[in-house]
Amino acid sequence: MIDLKNITVDEINSIDFDASAENVDVYKHYYIEPPGTNHYRLLAYISSKLAAGSLVYDVGTLHGTSAYALSFNPNVSVVSYDIANHGIDVRNVPSNLQFKIGDVKNDLHILSADIIFVDTMHDGLWELNFYKWLIENDYHGITLWDDTNYHEFPGMKNIFLSNVSHEIIDLTHIGHASGTTAIIL
């Protein structure tokens, strides 16, 4: 398992990330931002540390930028879900990345994922219910949650994180300035 508590900015910046930005259009200016401002480099770094054959799920595709960063390691399979197609912002989708439309809870392969990245409703209720669903379905792995410390989404702290019974690891300093949180289930 990745030691999330001891990742440094220097480690994140040690991967050859910049070339991957050529595949991103609309969100490119966000994609290239440094750790602590945006989370894409952190996601790519985590992907680079996963063993060959690892499975990663991205919940809340939007334009696919997080899923694309998570597919940084070509030996990792990434499945990204959203309830609607917002238009993928990745020019050449890598062969290890698959985009799906629908309710991710209908895909029970998610329960075998090594990592689940969640960037969805931001109301705290959806996230809490999804967290509880993972527990009820005996999920064991790393979950990463976006926008957990953003003042415009108070439910992420007040409803979601305040009801989490597992260890919470704050990765905001190397992730997204709006809050990046890891929870190991």
Looking at residue 1, its pLDDT comes to 75
Looking at residue 115, its pLDDT comes to 98
pLDDT in tens, 60-74: 999 999 999 999 999
- Helix and strand counts by DSSP (H, E) for the chain: 6, 7
Residue closest to 26 by CA, chosen among 66, 68, 63, 72: 63
Query: Are 59 and 130 contacting, i.e. CB atoms less than 8 angstroms apart?
Result: yes
DSSP alpha helix (H) spans, 36-164: 40-48, 65-70, 125-136, 155
Provide the percentage of residues in the chain whose pLDDT is more than 70: 100
Looking at residue 121, its pLDDT comes to 93
Query: Are 65 and 47 contacting, i.e. CB atoms less than 8 angstroms apart?
Result: no
Mean pLDDT of the chain: 97
Q: How many Cβ atoms are within 10 Å of 139's Cβ, its own excluded?
A: 16
Q: How far apart are CA 8 and CA 13, in angstroms?
A: 9
Residue closest to 35 by CA, chosen among 143, 176, 183, 179: 176
At the fourth CATH level, the homologous superfamily of domain 4-184 is Vaccinia Virus protein VP39 (3.40.50.150)
User: What is the model's pTM?
Assistant: 0.97
Looking at residue 29, its pLDDT comes to 95
Per-residue pLDDT of the chain (185 residues; tens, 9 = 90+): 799 999 999 999 999 999 999 999 989 999 999 999 999 999 999 999 999 999 999 999 999 999 999 999 999 999 999 999 989 999 999 999 999 999 999 999 999 999 999 999 999 999 999 999 999 999 999 999 999 999 999 999 999 999 999 999 999 999 999 999 999 99
Looking at residue 135, its pLDDT comes to 98
The domain limits of the chain are 4-184
Token code pair at residue 156: 């992420």
